[in-house]
Every structure is written in C-alpha cells, then in structure tokens.
Structure 1
Amino acid sequence: MAIPSRASFDQLPLSERLGIVVFEGTFLATRFEEEDTVNLYHMGSFFAEVYYDPEVNHLHHCRTFVRKEELEDYAVYIDLPEL
C-alpha cells in the first residue's frame, strides 16, 4: 500500500491512519507528554505522531506535520556520546 498525501491521510478515519502509520511509516522516536506516550514516524513527505495512553492501553490520536521545528520536542530524548 502506498502512503497517501498528507491531505488525503488526514481525511481518513483514525483506525485507517493508525494502520498506515504502523505498517508503512518509519519509526523514529518516542517522547512522553502528560500521561501519553507519543511515537514519531516518518511518512515520506510528512511526519505522524501516534498518541498512546498506556493506562487504558488505547491509541487515541494521530497528528501530522511537516515543519522541522515540531521535531524539537524529541531533541531531549536524543543522547549522543562524546565524539
């Protein structure tokens, strides 16, 4: 299955978006926001974040973006050893 454009992707029901992200996207990183675990995926021409509530074991939101500035939330979770 090919990854749809961001505009088409955003119009799909949540269950379809989650399936496409998990099976077609490239996992990049995880961050934590309040009670949620947020996983970041690269989708070719855009990024997708999948929000997971571990307390109730539920994927409840999928957000897309293209701006590089929105990746800054993940910077605190990157640890590079001394070179």
Structure 2
Amino acid sequence: MGTHISRRDDVNPSEGEREYGDVTFADPTNKKYPIDTEEHVRAAWSYINKKSNAAKYDAEEVDAIKGRIKRAAGKHGIEIDDD
C-alpha cells in the first residue's frame, strides 16, 4: 500500500519521533501509530478505529494505515478483527 498520507496541521511529526524513536509508523508522514511492537500494533488498531481519529484522514489514507497495521500484526502473530 503506497498511498501517500497528507501532512496534518494538528500534528507535529517530531513529537512522534521523540516519543517513540526511530520506529515504523502506520502513518509515516505524521509519525502516528507506531507498529514496531505487539503492544503498539494493538494500540494503533484500537486508535485508528475510533471515529474521531479516523475522521482526521480521508478514506484512502485510513485504508492505507489499516493495511500497514494489519501487515505488522501478521508479523507479530496478532489476529486482527475487522470489526
């Protein structure tokens, strides 16, 4: 999924890097939703499925973020429920 995610005005990407370090993010543009550990993958899935968080992205961006989280979940042996 190579969908580009737009830079959000309400986010400072440096904060994500400062908080989590040099890790893989489901939203690499804004450094949101780290997916480097099992705990982060589970949290990312929970957060992107909240309407208030998903509403900050267009539908294609949400699909791209969810796809990245699902792939990371597979690598960590986590089963993701689409509901």
TM band (smaller chain): under 0.3
TM-score by length of 2: 0.25
Specify which structure has the higher proportion of strand.
1
Larger Rg: 1
Per residue, is there more helix in 1 or in 2?
2
Q: TM-score, normalised by structure 1?
A: 0.25
